[in-house]
Structure 1
């Protein structure tokens, strides 16, 4: 019976794919869009197979017990037992084995997803602050070797532009509270922690417009911390960078310049003096630079 259940589960899941147009065949995940999709998909698919096997076994035992030990026409009560050592051992060790297997595959997938690219094509500094995002294109230098930036407001969300099939390193910063950088179609999210730079690499593999979100409850306007992600051709990407330069979005926007300081924590000013940072740097000015 065990092998029949496993074969049945494999057959049911064999038609599933992260590239399918069907939500059912993607098992409720969005359509994958990066080179790290397969690692997360395999973990997700394995979890569904495990859940299906456990469900079929448990449900099968319930039905079997209800039929096998139902009250007969002679009204005789089945033998009553106080405990069953083999069954109790199974109930103890089976969950431990299941959790251990899940842990192993989770760590394996995590390590593959977090693998670094030796020389990424692009580096983008992501600054999450109360309550909007800023994106600094660190390798798209303009005058005085200053980066180009995209910025928004809670009323007009920021836009992130990425060239398709080119590797990108994201460096995450926050000047105030913990945020979480999440693009569902990328199958990845990572916390943006004050005083710490988290980073990850990936390559977008599908053109399109996606919606990014903050996945950490960060304050009163948390729900407005959304942004658009435009994965485009290299020509369209270069055109957008040129437009940012022409609009004067060069250097670091308000919030990004102070992202290395934490609100309420002593830091060093430009002269090297230790001073008290009085407030967070999240007061964005309708897309204007500093």
Structure 2
């Protein structure tokens, strides 16, 4: 057990303080904010524990006599009033600064993908032109979750929509998550930086089959990405799919939500 804790993979996990290995250009901004917040929490914790131990030792009970009562201590009151504001101010500054980097949208992405979250799976509309056709799509079911294919080192703008309830599009390895809200179009941009297969899921409790709102992200080379789009076009999956026609229908089951 001790030796397993010495592996390079485990050491890297400790350095990330629990974060998964990053696979997008948002990795560094989120990681530095995450680690910085933990450092700030540790500093505050050590100070609080130190003060508690100091008070326990310094003012421990030495006799049956009541200790001298102090009604006011202005320096101490100023300290515990201003210190929290200082901590919050610093954390707020860095959160806004890193948040602007994380949510930055250049408006000039190489690819655009419309992500539709519906009860109870995901639909991905690729807006690239494929063999003269404008856009191709793929969708998932309860039994066969959807797969999202992305090109490595090429920027992608995601457009999030929903025809029914609130979902949340989350790929942990991309260090980014955004809610999918009916009646609103959410947008964000990022660039995958590592090829491989990554897990995606809905991070919002969206109803009966929330646990089945999972999907797979496969980051491939640019040529493999184009080949995948041509495969979808060959299957006749051209144009765009907007999601569930009836928000209460469970795709692939022909049942109404809640029925057995």
TM-score category (smaller protein)? 0.7 to 0.9
Q: Does 1:111 align with 2:96?
A: no
- For 1:120-171, what per-residue CA distance to the aligned partner results, in whole angstroms no more than 9, with x for missing partners? 111001000111100011014345x331112111211100000110000000
Segments of 5+ residues of structure 1 without an aligned counterpart are: 1-18, 259-278
Cα distance, 1:283 vs structure 2: 5.5
1:271 maps to which residue?
none
DSSP 3-state at the match of 2:80: helix
2:83 maps to which residue?
94
1:124 maps to which residue?
113
1:160 maps to which residue?
148
Q: Does 1:243 align with 2:210?
A: no
2:258 maps to which residue?
none
Cα distance, 1:222 vs structure 2: 0.9
Match of 1:81 among 70, 73, 84: 70
RMSD after superposition: 2.3
Cα distance, 1:192 vs structure 2: 0.8
Cα distance, 1:88 vs structure 2: 2.1
Tell which deviates more after alignment, 235-244 or 102-111: 235-244
- For 1:181-233, what per-residue CA distance to the aligned partner results, in whole angstroms no more than 9, with x for missing partners? 11111111111111111101110001111111111111111111010000111
- For 1:251-276, what per-residue CA distance to the aligned partner results, in whole angstroms no more than 9, with x for missing partners? 223627x7xxxxxxxxxxxxxxxxxx
Match of 1:146 among 117, 127, 134: 134
The answer to whether the 8 A contact 1:254-1:281 is kept is no
1:280 maps to which residue?
247
The answer to whether the 8 A contact 1:164-1:232 is kept is yes
DSSP 3-state at the match of 2:21: coil
2:197 maps to which residue?
209
Mapped to 1, the partners of 2:165 and 2:138 lie a distance apart of 21
Mapped to 1, the partners of 2:11 and 2:64 lie a distance apart of 55
Q: Which has the higher contact order (CA 8 A, sep 6+)?
A: 2
DSSP 3-state at the match of 1:139: strand
Mapped to 1, the partners of 2:110 and 2:174 lie a distance apart of 18
1:7 maps to which residue?
none
Distance 1:21 1:241, change over 3 A: farther
Equivalences for 1:263-274 in 2 at 5 Å?
none
DSSP 3-state at the match of 1:227: strand
Cα distance, 1:37 vs structure 2: 1.2
- TM-score normalised per structure 1: 0.78
Mapped to 2, the partners of 1:20 and 1:166 lie a distance apart of 30
Mapped to 1, the partners of 2:127 and 2:178 lie a distance apart of 20
The answer to whether the 8 A contact 2:116-2:242 is kept is no
Match of 2:44 among 33, 47, 54: 54
Match of 2:26 among 19, 29, 36: 36
1:270 maps to which residue?
none
Aligned pair count? 245
Distance 1:117 1:217, change over 3 A: same
